[in-house]
Structure 1
């Protein structure tokens, strides 16, 4: 039971984007940058983009030394360098588009914690710097920090042997970043529909475009929206729309402490090949990760805590970072975010069919690459749809 006005004016778009996270909003913005007359709508199944975009740790990262070494071993030098380049370009686009102040971007230092288990990585420091130097304008990506800096942190010296500084990473305020991205999209005329869960979609072929169906609870039946091109930007939740796609959910556990006075360190930190990460935010420690402790259980899109990992986070807070008893650590908040992984670390940016484009599987690097992925998705959507001059 739809009105004439609804069918004429509210259900037809040039472009429909499913998913209002970083990639979805960036796709919409890129489409409007190409032509502000495009009618663009973003459909979000929840009130907020509940996945990783609003639940990440706020690391503007390109990858740690040990992570890149592992990538080289599994994917080769050329692919690994291209991944780092993509992350660097994506962060540049995000910062230029929104402005550092609007995303809370800061460069307080980014460090990798090196234990005895990773100390072999120091032997490859020059090799990796040489490999990456061309994309960093001849500068070193990584620097071995003096022990004086390590001593100032107060970290457990029985575990932490060295700190390696990443010279091209920063931190953001995730809340500010997403709020700014939404505001920027709104200013450009992008429509965002929340609580708009797409039940199914179809490529109608040729110039007919595509359509999506959304269940209308009030009317009790599906409502069909049509568009020239459809972009699916649902990251970890893509499997619910496209079965058998190579997108595996990966859950990330995060805790934030109550304020801790007189913390001895600042900046952002990684350890264990990037599987753990922590930072200082508002005099608190945000600490997350541990997915590698229980890979199989964390291959899920369920928003639940894993007690094994939660216990490990508290253990490291107590024994590695703060040097206090676990019972003296007060946790203010806990949450989980859902990332997306696959057979390799490259995102999927491709046509699903002639009128449907995919931009999914960020590999836990959505903050870094999401803006660039959105731009590339928009470019695919625009093929054959450019206005005549």
Structure 2
């Protein structure tokens, strides 16, 4: 009786935390200024990307240092529509300055908001699927995959900077006026964009939680802890890794759309190597393999960055760097991971629910990842009860 009651306490605690976070996000427009609300909306857009990054790093062991590309592709797709909507029937200003006389053919479809939003999701998914299939099929992983993802960033940024007449070059795309008839700079429009972002965050968390708690999620953790064992018992890791990597890219594209609607600008600098590495730090600070930790890490890290840059304009990079070092040294499992372990030790019925994962390789989270405990058992049952599987 006691054993079954204690897990319910843990579930109630998680539910309470989720409700408190939701209430705080919904109440934010009532207590924050327009500027602060815009910042929070931007941080929540980052959180959508961070959750997707946690799915591939925390649960699958794929460390991507190039997710800024997928974020930027989504943002540029929406920005292209906003730029055309700002001056219907006219060439964007940067094209005129660069000597372009006619709207390029690949810009024409972006006059439709629906096409722009679809492209913001499908284009990152297509790039991620191609890169993922070519690398995972050839069993490229770990540090080698991370280097390849950074190479993708360098290539993409160089391309966008060099094509001044088509992408705006280093200045990027800005000066947006309307979106679906709403003035993007109006306070009421910004509040609508904020609530849309909150809805996207909630949907992302629910879908991600459902994925990691399903058998699919157990297979992802098994791939992270022992990919060769997964292949040996009949599953094809390539299919699962390509799918979750592409899904993560789709979330990054959605985050880019939400970002550009609230920030009003996108440039190659926001999809470069440094922003891509910062995205990984959000997940590390919040807690890998926790889903909700990615959200908390993205919001807290960016809030701290903004606070320190305002209070100490000359010292804030050093302060932020020191914060990262302290978290790595004293909270190796991140904020949520550390708190989870603390509560688990305080409840004997839960203490055995998160044992050491099978492996501790370069791409693995620290010991105690939530679903790692059940991955071995789930995979064993699946192997015993099912014939060979090569797909989803």
Scaled by the length of structure 1, the TM-score of the pair is 0.24
Query: Greater helix percent: which structure?
Result: 2
Scaled by the length of structure 2, the TM-score of the pair is 0.24
